[in-house]
Amino acid sequence: VKTFKPSKWPLWLAAGILFLLTISLLRAPAAGLFFERGLEAKKRWELERAIKNFEWALRIAPGSVEARFEKGICHQLRGQFLASRQEFDVLMKGPVADRALHARSLNAVGIICFNSSEPDAAIEFHNKALALARDVPDRRIEAEALINLARVLYHSKGEAQKAIEHLEEALDIGRGLRDELIEADALRNIGVVFWWHGGEQDRPLAGYFKPAAEIYRRQNDLRSLAVTISNIAHVHLIKGDLFEAMKRQNESIELKRRIGDLAGLSDSYSFMGAMYKRFQNYRKAHDYFTRSLELSRQTGYRLTENDVETMLAQTHMDLGEFDKAIDLLNRLIEIDRDNPMLIKYRVWALADCYLLKGEPATALTHVEQAQEMGGSDSRYRIGLLIKTGRIHTELGDLQRASDLLAEAQGLGLALKERWWEGEVETKSALAELAARQGRRAAALKELLEAVEIETHYWGANRALFAQGLDWRIYDRLFTLLLDQGATTEERAEETAFRVLERLRYRNLRNLILQVSEKKPGMPAASREESESLSRIKRLSAMLKKQEVPALRGQLRRAYGNYEDAVLRTELNRSSYELVREAKPASLEAVRRVLDRETALVEYLFAGERVFALAITRETIRSIALPVTKPGLAAKVKLFRSLVFNSEPGSGSDWQPVACDLRRALIEPLEQAGLFAGIRRIGLVPFGFLHDLPFAAIARPRGGGTRFLIEDYSLFRIPSATYLVFARSQRQEAGRARAAAPVIISFGRNDSDEADQPPLRFAVEEATVVSRIFEGEARINEQATETDLKRLASRYTLLHLASHAVSEPQMPLLSRLKLGGSADDDGDLTAREIFDLGLRAELVTLGACRSGESHSSSGNRVAELDRLGLADAFLHGGARSVLATLLPVNDRATIEFMKAFYSNLHSMEKTEALATTQRAMIRGDLFSHPRYWAPFVLIGDPGNINFM
């Protein structure tokens, strides 16, 4: 009999059923566990971790409405509106049994629509949420719906009063519930309405934003706190406190980075772009706008994307790229046809663009369209009136223009808080009108008042790394004064000097205020500054190996971050407070420091005209020079090319150009008798004239030429005020240097820059110079950055013979190449030079092009904000700097330095320089100007107290 063996499949079936039952029983607890973990992570603002936990909960329980809701909210808190929309699209397709959760979901979808620039859809969802919350009832959700609805109304529809009513109702609900977060949300949004639509500053700041921020800190609502701090930064920017604005925005950025709020970072980058655009630093503005656009497009944050694209269009206008601006604005108007708030500002921008383009009739059509769209914003109405008045001025309807501008002035006086920019615009428009009416004195009066307002509001804040000003106002002012002879109580020249000197002086680099600040030692760089600098050096090293466009863009951004960090550091110093109160020197004070043999010449461009202001101990005169700005620029460029880019014996083609330049820049002053008895000229260049070696411009003499340096000794200064400042410091500085050693020189032949060949004579130069004054020489391995920082402040003379690297796009990183050590990398940057605490009477920079300076903001309109190595040493405390504008010959440089330092024993600095250059002209080997003309003295020209 066969033994019966039962099959095993029933056992496997039973095991499978048991496993499935177990999984089914465990599914809900497991999903709940991940859900709870997600809520905990969200509470700690670990949003990415929270999203992953909610994802696991949904994998286990795909129908979990709560998990999908929370996942969508976390994406929203990170500013990921595309991802958030996907979650809520799924959620809203199915039934939501929990009516309160459904109301919250409607609110969330409304927020997504608002940030996606769909205001009508947002209003619809918030109204549904409001109705459902009242029906449930749930007062907290009702308050949230009121706040969200108000935000759309004031931002996208311009209905400020209705928004305030909703917000006050929500505020009452929050206080009744004792719900601090509802109270803070309502306060913050009320503050935005008063600030944005009402043009107020103090009330939103003290009464709404700061109380809201305190609540958010207490409740650990980091995202709302970051947004509120950013609001506070905006108000401080409008109030003119740049340091506080940047400090607050930086705090906001750190919070947004911490929680991963990409949309919030997009807003902050937009803020930084707008700030630098206002300062006319278009390079940095463009970089920040680009970063903002990248994030807003990545996240679906259409609201900020729209704003940034509008600002980019305005940047095109600022650059004179009107067709690009018009195309972009028209495209944006077409995209956002259902958003009247956006459209009216873009139509206004179009009107501005056509006016600047010289098409006032087309501009009038657009500004009338913007007027029809209207709005309750007083500043918007004032701005439109000013714009319309300007258009009618251009069209020749002067009475209509006068009426419109008078109305704008009246509305401006009625504002609760003073609107500085509106006042400047109104004054400027009234000046244009007065000039068209032939009332030059009235036009001048309006422009001078505009300048006073502009200086009072922005003066100190625009003095740092971003000169920024409405140069058109100054251009018109100088044209009226010097070209058309308009006057008030002062002579035209005195007024022009006062305004121009204020412009030059308010730049921190020209103030040199750090010299007067007692610094116990070199301050340590901030962490942010150090990290940015390390990144710059890493990217620069990578670019040396391979030129990659993406790396070049990263380097530009890294430098932007570095420049921001430096700016915050500088603003935080006590010297910033000195800048706020600083006054430029008066004309009388400047005259007092001039002896009878010295004249100052300040050059100035107004439109295409070129002017010179000549100042002596007895008088001030303006001369309209017989050359246009474009023509002069071409001659300067040609002269530099012929003299310094050709072989010394290649001919005398440069001589006619040298004579043309002297005829244009110097002879009109001589013919006016302004240089009678003058032996010394102090030059204050303007724009591209900084690049001209004045010593080599000439007049015909027999069959050759006589150079300007043969008739006068020459020096340069950043401003006339600097000369007064330097002279006032000399007596105290002389006492401080009485026991100081005379000279230390640093010489280094090699460089780690691939394109810099060894300097064959640098060591010899440093050695020879130090021997003349029996000083100390540090050469090659001893010539380290660390030792320079340690020793430089002890000496009267500091001589540096090493390579230099000029960075036109990153002037703070222009650097001298020295030896490295455990503490320093060997690159002495302009930024580090600021903090050397020098007491030197003279710093000599033997490197090629060490006297070059560049517009630190990228603003090529005025170029009053120049920065180079020589400027940095003046900042660092040097009384004067001997530097070079162009490449120099090594052998000729040694001969030059021997003669110069020997002369310095018995002559003042300018005379020592002139005597040296004249001797080289009369010599055989180095008579060509390429050998001696590059050397320029910048700063105080007087004697050195060697005691």
Structural domains of the chain, with CATH = 20-218+226-232 (1.25.40.10), 527-581 (no CATH), 597-716 (no CATH), 741-937 (3.40.50)
The rounded distance, in Å, linking the Cα atoms of 639 and 643 is: 6
Give the three-state DSSP class for 76.
helix
| H/E segment holding residue 842 | strand 842-845
Chain segment 29-79, per-residue pLDDT in tens: 788 889 999 999 999 999 999 999 999 999 988 888 999 999 999 999 999
User: Is 90 exceeded by the pLDDT of residue 458?
Assistant: no
Measured in residues, the chain has a length of: 947
How would residue 943 be classed by pLDDT, with cut points 50, 70 and 90? Answer: confident
User: Is 60 exceeded by the pLDDT of residue 826?
Assistant: yes
How would residue 261 be classed by pLDDT, with cut points 50, 70 and 90? Answer: very high
Q: What mean pLDDT, rounded, does the chain reach?
A: 82
Task: Kindly state the average pLDDT of the residues 364-388.
Answer: 84
Chain segment 524-540, per-residue pLDDT in tens: 556 767 777 778 778 77
The rounded distance, in Å, linking the Cα atoms of 404 and 425 is: 13
User: Is 50 exceeded by the pLDDT of residue 161?
Assistant: yes
Q: How many CB atoms lie within 10 A of CB 479?
A: 18
Question: Which two structure tokens, joined as six digits, stand for 862?
Answer: 């005025």
Task: Kindly state the average pLDDT of the residues 434-444.
Answer: 90
For position 195, what pLDDT does the model report?
Answer: 85
Question: Which DSSP symbol is given to 819?
Answer: B
Return all residues near 466 (Cβ < 8 A) that are at least 6 apart.
276, 279, 280, 281, 284, 856, 857, 859, 865
Question: Which two structure tokens, joined as six digits, stand for 926?
Answer: 């180095």
Residue pair 857/843 in contact by the 8 Å Cβ criterion: no
How would residue 485 be classed by pLDDT, with cut points 50, 70 and 90? Answer: low
Q: How far from 789 is each of 344, 806, 811, 851, 878, CA to CA, in Å?
A: 57, 20, 20, 21, 14
How would residue 483 be classed by pLDDT, with cut points 50, 70 and 90? Answer: confident
The rounded distance, in Å, linking the Cα atoms of 705 and 367 is: 59
Residue pair 193/167 in contact by the 8 Å Cβ criterion: yes
- Which position has the higher pLDDT, 130 or 344? 130
For position 466, what pLDDT does the model report?
Answer: 33
Cβ burial 423-461 (10 Å sphere, 16+ → b, else e): bbbbbbbbbbbbbeeeebebbbbbbbbbbebbbebbbbb
How would residue 858 be classed by pLDDT, with cut points 50, 70 and 90? Answer: very low
User: Is 90 exceeded by the pLDDT of residue 102?
Assistant: yes
CA atoms within 13 A on the CB side of 15: 5
User: Is 70 exceeded by the pLDDT of residue 648?
Assistant: no
How would residue 394 be classed by pLDDT, with cut points 50, 70 and 90? Answer: very high
pTM of the model: 0.71
The rounded distance, in Å, linking the Cα atoms of 939 and 947 is: 21
Among candidates 153, 148, 172, 176, which has minimal Cα distance to 163? 153
